[in-house]
Structure 1
Amino acid sequence: MTDANEWPELRALYGTAPLPDLDTCDFFHVHIDERGTSVTFAFETSRLPAEPKAEWKGAAYNTLRFWIEFTGVSGLRVSGILAEAKRSVRISGGATPGRLDVSVTSETRSIAFSASASQVLHTRVYLKGSL
């Protein structure tokens, strides 16, 4: 099982620097795949990697997006479906050995589950305009 705080895909981008704090990242996507018992979250951050991929070098960007897939999901509980700016993301060693406890909660909405593993599926950078 991958340590939730040390995804190798993100570690390669950030080197020895701390990984982005999920509580401060924009949480913009949830995909629940009941057939594969997986849940995928997507986040974006303006905290750019210290060691970008070769194909990103020379490109103009100010935002990193990354998708985290949780597999072997059980005990899924969802309340509400809209994203809120103020929310808390928690990924920790589960009450059951070899499992992760995952939750994203706000004042009015939440998603929580247990997972056997997690991995970063995809990363991409882009230039986000100001509003």
Structure 2
Amino acid sequence: MTVPNDWPELRELYGADPLPDLDTCDFFHVHVDERGTSVTFALETSRLPAHPKPQWTEAAYNTLRFWIEFSGVADLRVAGLLADAERAVRIEGGGDGGGTADRLKVSVTGETRSIAFSAAASRVTQTRVHLKGSI
């Protein structure tokens, strides 16, 4: 899976290590901004960063949450509302020429549900760690 512009916000945390594969992250939230043209995904991973923020060392944690905002969204298609446990996350494209061919093509597809759209850009807007318990 290609990560657009390597998301510098995550690259700073992971350094030379590969970024988390979005297919292995828990996809726990989607927000469609009805006033603008953005979609935000929230994901979490147990793959902890090699270079955590200094304030994170003050408490125990085992999970990193991050939010990805896609801006300039067009051609939004949603089928179903609940999350599927098995799903594939794809982000493709995103050259730097500014044309239609340079737009990101984003999709999250499960067995019975999906969301897909194109976006002009993406960025990680927030990162947070927490201690996730086991059930």
> TM-score per shorter chain, which class?
over 0.9
Deviant stretches of 4+, over 3 Å: none
Structure 2 residue aligned with 1:87: 87
Aligned CA RMSD, in angstroms, stands at 1.4
Contiguous gaps of at least 5 residues in structure 2:
none
Contact 1:61–1:127, Cα closer than 8 Å, also in 2:
yes
Partner of 1:59: 59
Where do residues 27-106 of structure 1 align in structure 2 (5 Å cutoff)? 27-93=27-93, 96-106=100-110
TM-score, length-normalised on structure 1? 0.94
Cα distance in 1, alignment partners of residues 59 and 18 from structure 2 = 23
Q: CA deviation at 1:5?
A: 5.8
Deviations 1:60-89 (A, max 9, x none): 000000000000000000000101110000
User: Equivalents in 2 of 1:90, 1:23: separation in Å?
Assistant: 8
Distance between the aligned counterparts of 1:42 and 1:70, measured in 2?
A: 11
Aligned to 2:23: 23
Q: Give percent identity, aligned residues only.
A: 74
Contact 1:5-1:19 at 8 Å conserved across structures: no
More helix by share: 2
How many pairs does the alignment contain?
Answer: 129
What residue ranges of structure 1 are gaps of 5+ in the alignment?
Answer: none
Using the alignment, how far apart are the partners of 2:134 and 2:48 within structure 1? Answer: 17
Q: Which TM-score applies when normalising by structure 2? A: 0.91
The worse-fitting range, judged by mean Cα deviation, of 62-71 and 91-100 is 91-100
Match of 2:120 in 1: 116
2:50 corresponds to which letter in structure 1?
A
Deviation at 1:35, TM superposition (A): 1.4
User: Which residue is equivalent to 2:133?
Assistant: 129
Q: 1:32 offset after TM fit, Å? A: 0.2
